């Protein structure tokens, strides 16, 4: 699939019917442990249920779920938001779906977010993920050695924005 194929992607609100496809996508990524898949599904369920801590968008391609992004306000901060999950079906990696999802999140946070934080793994199999964030303007802010497991660092990326002065109320 080419980047041009992403033009046919429809971005929409997640629905409970998407849960099995999200689970399959997380498992097919082959980088998430079982406990991570469970947390991803818990976050997905929260976003579908309307939990204000979780906002998400699904990318649909050809009638099926091709990607998902979830973000939320970071507790005890002013204007900081976390990108909790970004997953794209391995079958369509490189088609621009991840970029569309990140841009959608950033557009929805325009004027509200001062800072977006992304935490990801430092393992070698996450090198493409880290390159993806860097290519989209996220800068590496910190590395916490052995955070996820021995030999698996946490790599923290941030992207700064200039929100309006009245944007912090009612995040």
Q: Average pLDDT of the chain?
A: 92
pLDDT digits (tens, 9 = 90+) for 57-83: 999 999 999 999 999 999 999 999 999
Q: How far apart are CA 142 and CA 119, in angstroms?
A: 9
Q: How far apart are CA 43 and CA 101, in angstroms?
A: 17
User: Cβ(14)–Cβ(50) under 8 Å?
Assistant: no
C-beta atoms surrounding 114 within 10 Å:
16
Specify burial of residue 81 (Cβ count, 10 A radius: 0-12, 13-18, 19+): buried
User: Domain 3-160, CATH 3.30.56.10 — does that match?
Assistant: no
pLDDT digits (tens, 9 = 90+) for 124-158: 999 999 999 999 999 999 999 999 999 999 999 99
Q: Is the pLDDT of residue 170 over 70?
A: no
At 8 the pLDDT is 87
């Amino acid at each position: 699939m080419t980047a041009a194929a992403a033009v046919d992607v429809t971005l929409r609100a997640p629905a409970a019917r998407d849960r099995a496809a999200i689970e399959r996508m997380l498992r097919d990524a082959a980088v998430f442990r079982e406990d991570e898949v469970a947390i991803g599904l818990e976050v997905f369920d929260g976003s579908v249920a309307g939990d204000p801590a979780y906002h998400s968008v699904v990318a649909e391609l050809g009638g099926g779920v091709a990607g998902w992004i979830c973000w939320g306000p970071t507790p005890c901060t002013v204007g900081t938001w976390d990108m909790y999950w970004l997953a794209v079906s391995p079958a369509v990696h490189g088609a621009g779906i991840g970029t569309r999802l990140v841009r959608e999140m950033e557009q929805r946070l325009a004027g509200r977010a001062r800072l977006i934080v992304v935490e990801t793994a430092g393992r070698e199999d996450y090198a493409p993920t880290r390159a993806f964030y860097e290519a989209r303007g996220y800068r590496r802010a910190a590395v916490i050695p052995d955070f996820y497991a021995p030999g698996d660092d946490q790599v923290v990326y941030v992207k700064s924005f200039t929100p309006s002065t009245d944007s912090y109320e009612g995040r």
